[in-house]
Amino acid sequence: MPGNSSTPCAGRGIPCMPGTDPLRSAAFRVAAAYAGLFALSAMLLFGAAYWAATREMTAQLRTEIRSDARALADAFAQGGRDALEQEAWDRQSDARGAAFYLLLDESGRKIMGDSIPVAPFQGWREVVRQLENSHADDNDATDTVLAFGQSLGGRFLLVGRSMHGVEEMQETLLQLLTAMLGLTLLLALAGGLVMGRSATRRVGKMSRAVRQIVSGDLSRRLPASGPCDEIRGLAEDINRMLARIEELMDNLRQVSNDIAHDLRTPLGRLRQQLEAARQNEHSVEGCHAAIDGAIVEIDALLQTFSALLRIAQVEAGARRQSFSDVDLADLAARIVELYVAAAEDGGRTLAGELEPGVVVHGDQELLTLLLANLVENALRHTPPGTHIAVHLAGTEDGPELSVRDNGPGVPEAERDKVFRRFYRLEASRTTPGSGLGLAMAHAICQLHGAGILLADGHPGLWVRVRFPRVGW
């Protein structure tokens, strides 16, 4: 609906109101996404550390167990069962809870060692044992033992180490990971909320400005303050676009007003001629004369409308496809030669100072029209005795084409206005013309990326056109 600044979110029919909720801002979503990504990375990193630390500590336990098992096997090989039992007793008494030993006879009765309920086995196994002074249903009163079992002379020997240290390390790493993830997510979300509020305030100001622009205030601009970031850059680009739109709208209003004023006079004059012919002319010759006068007026109107359409076509860039390299020196020489006689008939002089070999990229027909309009403008608005010079030269910044006269010139306050359609310094409109020549010249310059400037010729008017260099 007109005036509604919200647009429905795609596929849901929910009004999307940007700049109102920091939690829905793009900055907050980006921060939350990065927090999730960092959390996942931290989990993978800690998982690798968890696995490496567990593997290293378990390997160390295995090394100690192998050393003990090898020593007991050596004692059995050297002294038999008695030496094995004695060595096991000695190691049991020196272990002080750090190591576990169990020696069973052929019938499975315990000869010595810790109370580890396990059947004889060979190789490595993790065994869960109940701690002393604890209940059988108390899961926290158990201990996991990494054990190595082997048979020696009919006896079963178990050598083990408690994995309590490994479990403590694992628990510590998990607690650290949980705390770090929680802190990371909290800081990331808080930072995202702060950034979201900042972006929300800036976007909110832009949204309010946009609503005022939509309501008709084309002079309004988006705030382009704050840090030099993509939001500020976007606001500046939009402001340039708004300035161009405002300029085009002003031109449209100005053209509409000027058409209403400038075409009203010839249309009124045409109607008066036809009305007078109908009332007063009774001869064929008089009617023919009235019709001829009407045709002249209509032709002038058609030329005006053709010029307007041509300006619109040029401003739309429709002729850019026909661009090619144009020898501007040759073009200017032909224009000067064409208008020399017209200048002499009006008591003026026209000369060219043209540097050969100056080339521009553009539409040859439009460039011809550009220079012709500038020369005709000088011929039409200067008194007899005026000298008009067409100058062309290549500069470091690009070719420069100028038309300079020593006539009355244009007041400085009026120089920007003369490029408007139908604008004429002479309010009485006594001289021929429609006031579209310089407007056409300005449109052609914009199409070619050239700048046009009116300067003081000391005396007279100096019209300078600066083209970009070929290849730019």
Within a domain: 4 = no
| Tokens representing residue 299 in the block | 């032709």
For range 362-372, the mean pLDDT: 87
For range 244-268, the mean pLDDT: 73
Within a domain: 251 = no
Residue reference for tokens 């058609």: 302
Q: Which of 147-161, 222-236, 306-320, 409-423 has the lowest mean pLDDT?
A: 306-320
Share of the chain above pLDDT 90, in %: 11
Q: What's the pLDDT score for residue 1?
A: 43
Q: What's the pLDDT score for residue 216?
A: 78
Within a domain: 447 = yes
Domain shared by 185 and 152, yes or no:
yes
Given 316, 348, 382, which residue is the final one in a domain? 316
Residue reference for tokens 């003369």: 418
Kindly give, in sequence order, each residue whose CB lies less than 8 Å from that of residue 310, ignoring residues fewer than 6 positions away. 440
Q: What's the pLDDT score for residue 387?
A: 93
Entry field: residues in the chain: 472
Could you tell me the residue range of the domain that residue 100 belongs to? 16-132+141-215
Within a domain: 7 = no
For range 49-68, the mean pLDDT: 88
Domain shared by 296 and 370, yes or no:
no
Q: Tens digit of pLDDT for each residue in 418-453? A: 776 666 655 444 455 556 778 888 888 888 888 888
Within a domain: 151 = yes
Q: What's the pLDDT score for residue 80?
A: 82
Query: Does the pLDDT of residue 105 top 50, yes or no?
Result: yes
Global pTM exceeds 0.85: no
Domain shared by 153 and 203, yes or no:
yes
| Residue bearing the bigger pLDDT, 229 or 425 | 229
Q: Which of 275-289, 384-398, 426-440 has the lowest mean pLDDT?
A: 426-440
Domain shared by 43 and 55, yes or no:
yes
Domain shared by 90 and 204, yes or no:
yes
Adjacent-strand bridge partners of 127: 145
Within a domain: 207 = yes
Given 215, 247, 280, which residue is the final one in a domain? 215
| Residue bearing the bigger pLDDT, 181 or 3 | 181
Domain shared by 306 and 396, yes or no:
no
Domain shared by 158 and 123, yes or no:
yes
Domain shared by 334 and 286, yes or no:
no
Q: What's the pLDDT score for residue 5?
A: 43
CATH number for 183: 3.30.450.20
pLDDT band at 336 (very low <50, low <70, confident <90, very high): very high
Let me know: does 88 contact 112? Beta carbons within 8 Å.
Answer: yes
Q: What's the pLDDT score for residue 21?
A: 59
> How many domains, the chain?
3
pLDDT band at 316 (very low <50, low <70, confident <90, very high): low
Domain shared by 338 and 301, yes or no:
no
Within a domain: 245 = no
Query: Does the pLDDT of residue 137 top 60, yes or no?
Result: no
Given 316, 341, 359, which residue is the final one in a domain? 316
Query: Does the pLDDT of residue 48 top 70, yes or no?
Result: yes
Q: Is 170 helix (H, G, I), strand (E, B) or coil?
A: helix
For range 62-83, the mean pLDDT: 85
Domain shared by 163 and 271, yes or no:
no
| Residue bearing the bigger pLDDT, 45 or 202 | 45
Domain shared by 40 and 168, yes or no:
yes
For range 45-72, the mean pLDDT: 87
Q: What's the pLDDT score for residue 116?
A: 74
| Residue bearing the bigger pLDDT, 187 or 355 | 355
Let me know: does 47 contact 53? Beta carbons within 8 Å.
Answer: no
Within a domain: 162 = yes
CATH number for 369: 3.30.565.10
Domain shared by 330 and 436, yes or no:
yes
pLDDT band at 401 (very low <50, low <70, confident <90, very high): very high
Please give the mean pLDDT across all residues of the chain.
Answer: 78
